[in-house]
């Protein structure tokens, strides 16, 4: 955060991989990150760097805020459903998110040490994970409508999120899948699974893809969407390259496909 103003003053375009510029105001940042924002004057200039939703803004931006890994997988799955009006928002949305250990970064800690992680499975930051406001902001939902739980699994990379919701105005699983087909028809990094199949972490390993699968049971009124990404690629460095390509006028897939 400290270097961004200097780099911008020097005329550089900045893609920031921290959480410093992802949220729209300093008060929201302070609440979720438990610290004071040191460059609030730049928040108005920052463009959220999720290309599938913010492509035009990214191409013109001087400060691009690379999204968090959990919100990338969550928003690519949830936002089209909210936009289509097929979620009963009063019934709530549950996002059960599982991540490999590299999602915690490189800073050493007891919680992410081998002896703590191996042969284990744990939830953390329950109801107060700092990535929650990004999901709310991009998908256009309110905090009481979303229950998000992050969980650490004993693998080195990858994120798989299972999203549960009660549908409305939805007739079939095919209609649910069609919402995603229409939204992502021309998106190079979103892959949709056919009905009856679900994505997994291995399928996105070391790629910049987000894989999405759906299930809907009209008889019981239950719907599930599964979203998978590599947290180090589409959830971090790969998405930064995608943003760089847009910002500098290169083909969006350059270096990624």
Catalytic residues: 69
Show the 3-state SS of the chain.
Answer: CCCHHHHHHCCCCEEECCCCCCCCCHHHHHHHHCCCCCCHHHCCCEEECCHHHHHHHHHHCCEEECCCHHHHHHHHHHHHHHHHCCECHHHCEEEEEEECHHHHCCCCCCCCCHHHHCCCCEEECCCCCCCHHHHHHHHCCCHHHEEEEEEECCCCCCEEEEEEECECCCCCHHHHHHHHHHHHCCCCCEEECCCCCCCCHHHHCCCCCEEEEEEEECCCCEEEEEEEECCCHHHHHHHHHHHHHHHHCCCCCCCCC
- Pair 160, 206: CB distance under 8 Å: no
- Match 């994120």 to its residue by tokens: 159
């Amino acid at each position: 955060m400290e270097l961004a103003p200097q780099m911008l003053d020097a005329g550089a375009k900045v893609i920031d991989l921290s959480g410093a510029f992802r949220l729209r105001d300093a008060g929201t940042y302070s609440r979720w990150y438990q610290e004071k924002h040191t460059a609030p004057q730049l928040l108005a200039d920052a463009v959220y760097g999720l290309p599938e939703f913010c492509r035009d803004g990214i191409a013109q931006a001087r400060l691009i805020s690379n999204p968090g890994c959990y919100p990338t997988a969550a928003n690519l799955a949830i936002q089209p459903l909210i936009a289509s009006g097929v979620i009963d928002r009063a019934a709530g949305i549950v996002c059960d998110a599982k991540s490999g250990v590299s999602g915690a970064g490189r800073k050493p800690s007891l919680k992410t040490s081998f002896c703590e992680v191996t042969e284990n499975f744990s939830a953390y930051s329950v109801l107060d994970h700092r990535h929650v406001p990004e999901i709310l902001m991009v998908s256009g939902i309110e905090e009481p409508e979303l229950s998000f739980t992050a969980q650490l699994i004993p693998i080195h990379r990858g994120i798989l999120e299972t999203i549960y919701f009660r549908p409305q105005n939805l007739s079939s699983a095919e209609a649910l899948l069609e919402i995603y087909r229409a939204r992502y028809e021309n998106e190079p990094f979103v892959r949709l699974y056919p009905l009856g199949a679900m994505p997994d972490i291995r399928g996105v390993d070391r790629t910049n893809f987000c894989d999405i699968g759906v299930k809907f049971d009209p008889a019981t009124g239950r719907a599930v969407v599964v979203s998978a990404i590599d947290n180090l690629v589409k959830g971090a460095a790969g998405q930064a390259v995608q943003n760089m390509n847009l910002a500098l006028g290169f083909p969006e897939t350059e270096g990624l496909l």
